[in-house]
Amino acid sequence: MYACASYAGANPNSLHTPGREAARALEGARKEISQLLGGSARPSELIFTSGGTEADNLAVIGLSEAVRMQRGARDAVVISAIEHEAVLACAPELRRRGFEVRIAASSCRGIIEPAALESTLDERCALVSIMTANNETGMVQPIAELAAAAHAHGALFHTDAVQAFTRIPLSAGPVDALSISAHKVGGPVGIGALYLKTGIRLQPLLHGGGQERGLRPGTQNVSGALAFAAAAQASACAHRVHADALRVRSSMLVEKLVLADLGICPTVDAAYDGGRLPGTVHIAVSGIEAGAVLLRLDAAGFAISSGSACSAGSRDSSHVLSAMGVPRERSLGALRISFDERVSDSELSAFADALIGCVGSLRR
């Protein structure tokens, strides 16, 4: 559709007609995406970026710097132990810039409890960054309470909602900033966004033209933004209809795997009130390396992952599972299974049978 549009390829900052049309299309996408962030989010609060990683870096470093510029005594940043690398890897850069980085511990259920955050907070904290839902375990964090704890100490609160966006209802209300990414909702790689609440100052990381209110300079990716908005709407719509069924089917899958009595166990407690991302199952096969299971399942036509796909290739056990206190021997056998409504019951059942057969033969 975009390729056929009269404004395809036009720079949305140009004054000519195709440029103005491109700008209108870009603002339409901004509006559609902001409407999926909960009632209070406004289009003017969305800054397009190149993806979730850039949105996280911009929030974590840019907000910390802006707070320190305004209130010099605030030079500590809190991140959680279960963050994605896009946040975790900001820590060395923050330290290089003179910030103290504090880590909020995870419970054994994979949750950052408000009390654990509380113990890291004081009047020196500039920013707290805790993800909305974990990319490995799917555990949803108590964001409203965590944000309230940060605010009570005068710190800003950012959340990486890359995994949660469109899969569970979000509310931008309690947070100051929130990161999202298009390819996690079925859109293209290379575009994401940072929600930044009106009035919150941010120090840009890039320097150039005045695009995106000068906070993220560079000619905007109009086709990417349009595809992002369309994919996000379709994904949110599908999840509104199918989320409950996906949760039930996830529980049934786990039950079947556990009943096989081959040492396959869920790594996280599914009974947690705050919930899990629908269609995300996280299990560990004790005594067997995840890679061996993955390759056999791949040959059988099933693509699943060990730990986080973004750090695949790393042989270390997952930092998320270590933070939850899962023994290394168990976490090396951790598998993340994701599916959505396009996977039929019979396909899911065939997958469970293949996994059980594979673990059974590896045990023999």
Task: Compare residues 56 and 176 and give the one whose CB is closer to ligand PLP.
Answer: 56
Site of tokens 């033209």? 209
Member of 162, 172, 293, 323 binding ligand PLP (CB under 6 A): 162
The DSSP-derived string for 128-146 is EE--SB-TTT-BBP-HHHH
Catalytic residue among 90, 237, 310, 358: 310
Kindly state the smallest distance separating residue 193's Cβ from ligand PLP, in Å.
Answer: 10
Task: Compare residues 135 and 262 and give the one whose CB is closer to ligand PLP.
Answer: 135
Q: How far apart are CA 207 and CA 103, in angstroms?
A: 30
Tell me which residue of 79, 80, 55, 75 sits closest to 65, measured CA to CA.
75
Residue 52 makes contact with ligand PLP by CB under 6 A? yes
Q: Residues 122-141: x/- map of binding to ligand PLP (CB under 6 A)?
A: ---------x---x------
CB 109 within 8 A of CB 351: no
Alpha-carbon distances of 363 from 235, 307, 356, rounded to whole Å: 39, 21, 11
Q: In sequence order, what are the residues at sequence separation of 6 or more whose Cβ sits closer than 8 angstroms to the Cβ of residue 4?
A: none
Kindly state the smallest distance separating residue 310's Cβ from ligand PLP, in Å.
Answer: 5
Task: Compare residues 203 and 305 and give the one whose CB is closer to ligand PLP.
Answer: 305
Residue 163 makes contact with ligand PLP by CB under 6 A? yes
* Sites for ligand PLP among residues 302-361 (CB under 6 A): 310
Kindly state the smallest distance separating residue 322's Cβ from ligand PLP, in Å.
Answer: 17
Whether 310 is catalytic: yes
Number of residues that bind ligand PLP (CB under 6 A): 16
Report which residue's Cβ sits closest to ligand PLP. 52
DSSP 8-state assignment for residue 260: T
**Residue 190, Cβ density class (10 Å: 0-12 exposed, 13-18 middle, ≥19 buried):** middle
By CB under 6 A, which span of 18-26, 159-167, 169-177, 241-249 interacts with ligand PLP? 159-167
Kindly state the smallest distance separating residue 270's Cβ from ligand PLP, in Å.
Answer: 20
Site of tokens 């060395």? 92
Kindly state the smallest distance separating residue 187's Cβ from ligand PLP, in Å.
Answer: 10
Task: Compare residues 159 and 317 and give the one whose CB is closer to ligand PLP.
Answer: 159
Sheet holding 156-160, edge to edge: 46-49, 192-196, 177-181, 156-160, 125-129, 76-80, 100-104
By CB under 6 A, which span of 48-56, 69-77, 260-268, 341-349 interacts with ligand PLP? 48-56
Q: How far apart are CA 253 and CA 248, in angstroms?
A: 9
Task: Compare residues 161 and 285 and give the one whose CB is closer to ligand PLP.
Answer: 161
Report residue 143: phi and psi, to 5°: -60, -40
Sort strands 76-80 and 125-129 into parallel, antiparallel or unpaired: parallel
Member of 53, 57, 317, 331 binding ligand PLP (CB under 6 A): 53
> Active-site residue numbers?
310
Query: Given the rule CB under 6 A, which residues bind ligand PLP?
Result: 51-53, 56, 84, 86, 131, 135, 160, 162-163, 181, 183-184, 192, 310
